[in-house]
Amino acid sequence: MKKSSAFTNSVFIISFLIVSLFIIWGLCFNDQLAAISGTILKATLVQFDWFYVGAVFLFLLFSIVLPFTRYGSVRLGQEKDRPEFKTGSWIAMLFSAGMGVGIMFYGVAEPVMHYSAPPVGEGFTENAARTAMKYSYFHWGLHAWAIYTVIGLALAYFQYKKQLPALVSSAFYPVLKERIHGPIGKAIDILAVTTTVFGVATSLGLGSMQISSGIEYVFAIPKTTSVSVTVIVVTTVLFLISASTGLKRGIRYLSNSTVILSLVLMAIVLALGPTVNILRIFFQTTGSYLNDLLSMSLRLEPFHKDTWISSWTVFYWAVWISWGPAVGMFIARISRGRTIREFILGVLIAPSLGCFAWFSIFGGTAIDFIHNGGNKALASAITADVSLALFELFKYMPLSTMLSIIGFILIVFYYITLADASTYVLGMISEKGNENPSLLIKITWGVIQALVAISLLLAGGLETIQTIAVVTAFPFTGIIIWMCVSFLKGLKENAISDETGEVEMHSERKSKSVGQ
């Protein structure tokens, strides 16, 4: 495939025009864009909260039940295929791409915010502390990873088992057949691209804010818009260098290093913090989370005008869905040769446990310092500037400078890994499913993503782009439901085909035996 082929691909051209339109709109008429997108967001989150809650619960059930069916042993590829990456590297890559930037930003902040203003009852109480940890688990646990699981699983199946292009539209072959190559398939891929660009740009914007906060804390350089823009430019150069080294070297090595450094930071904070209480928090919250999983999963407030569910849970489900195309396609790309059962255990369970451990150690330590240590100033500082939450926590710990430096490096690493993985995915879609997209198209999308983040940051519109990302998630939720139906249809057709083949082979052998 020629490197220039992407630039004549209608999916790339239309997606580029849509993204460019929003950049111009955001720069020139940011207030108008914010008002319109905000109105749409409120309508979808409030009026269709039942749709998001029901859909994400369906994705979780789908992910939990499927491994225990006869399809659990189906291999994502041909029978001779085996995993391309070792399990440790595979989990490191999917975790870094899926949650890395997020847990660095919210790992301390969200538990403290729920503790200060819980969904039920008064803040700064023992019950508020338990509720804060439970809902942090809930928002970053099984439900989030179930969204990535169903998308990645369907894409990997059709990409490697059925030898279809590495495109979101390929997952609809059982229901659309050859029409996946026509206007309907292209429309699905365009929606996937735009959803990915806006979803990832939101993460890059949040990441740049946290990196700027780290620079202010570690190097005493004031956090300004110009510093945030410089951060985006410098990190863009860094992740493009990483992208130039390819998947097996750049992203894999960086992900492995990042996860190892994360484990080191977790171990240090566990040792220096309230160790016994952290362990208690982990076990108690895990039990509480599993015990209340069903009620939390379907919780809505039809008889009470409480917007907490819409503002937090439903908003989170929409955010994870907006990241779904990028993370799902990336996970699919690195999962050739694994069985469906192995895939689900690796994508659903392992990273969820990692998130639980992270929130217990960092969020649990922060709440312990506030609740048991009486450091309410820490809560005030965190709620005042969420991007400083991690560094504010480290102020109250021994070796605070060392911890802040490690934390700062980790934020940068996770930022680069996310950007690297997303440009890889956008490159695949732009080059009609090429599993190893050209460096030119990856650089192009890397620059576009950086420009989106910079443009709306300059226009004061980071909130706007986050709103747009969540709004685009609404139609894509329907796409994922349709994807699940198509995937099950494909599995059933494949099973019938295999059974028919076995019967024919048995009959042929029997005929030969009689003839002899």
How confident is the model over 17-48, as pLDDT tens digits?
Answer: 998 888 788 778 878 877 887 888 888 888 89
Cβ-based neighbours of 471, under 8 Å, separated by 6 or more: 37, 40, 41, 44
d(CA 105, CA 67): 33
What the block records as the tokens of 4 is 């220039």
In the chain, the percentage of residues whose pLDDT exceeds 90 is 56
230 vs 41, higher pLDDT: 230
**3-state SS assignment for residue 141:** coil
pLDDT of residue 294 exceeding 90, the answer is: yes
Contact 483/321 with Cβ under 8 angstroms?
A: no
d(CA 258, CA 103): 13
| Phi-psi group of 56: left, alpha or beta (phi > 0 → left; psi -120 to 50 → alpha; rest → beta) | alpha
**468-501 pLDDT, tens digit each:** 777 888 999 999 999 999 999 999 998 887 666 5
Contact 211/200 with Cβ under 8 angstroms?
A: no
d(CA 151, CA 59): 9
d(CA 67, CA 342): 8
311 vs 514, higher pLDDT: 311
> How confident is the prediction for the chain on average, in pLDDT?
88
Q: Rounded mean pLDDT of 456-474?
A: 73
Greatest alpha-carbon span in the chain: 89
Supply the Cα-derived Rg of the chain in whole angstroms: 23
pLDDT band at 163 (very low <50, low <70, confident <90, very high): very high
pLDDT band at 2 (very low <50, low <70, confident <90, very high): very low
Question: In degrees to the nearest 10, what's the CA dihedral of 166, 172, 173, 175?
Answer: 180
What the block records as the tokens of 231 is 């951060």
Over 17-75, what HEC string results?
HHHHHHHHHHHHCHHHHHHHHHHHHHHHHHHCHHHHHHHHHHHHHHHHHHHHCHHHHCE
Whole-model pTM: value is: 0.91
Q: Rounded mean pLDDT of 387-393?
A: 94
pLDDT of residue 516 exceeding 60, the answer is: no
Contact 433/9 with Cβ under 8 angstroms?
A: no
> How confident is the model at residue 398, as a pLDDT?
96
> How confident is the model at residue 246, as a pLDDT?
67
**167-192 pLDDT, tens digit each:** 999 999 999 999 999 999 999 999 99
> How confident is the model at residue 461, as a pLDDT?
58
pLDDT of residue 332 exceeding 70, the answer is: yes
**55-98 pLDDT, tens digit each:** 999 999 999 999 999 999 999 998 899 998 999 999 999 888 87
In the chain, the percentage of residues whose pLDDT exceeds 70 is 93
pLDDT band at 130 (very low <50, low <70, confident <90, very high): very high
Half-sphere exposure of 4 (CA within 13 A, CB side): 0
320 vs 301, higher pLDDT: 320
Q: Which amino acid is at 215?
A: I
**342-363 pLDDT, tens digit each:** 999 999 999 999 999 999 999 9
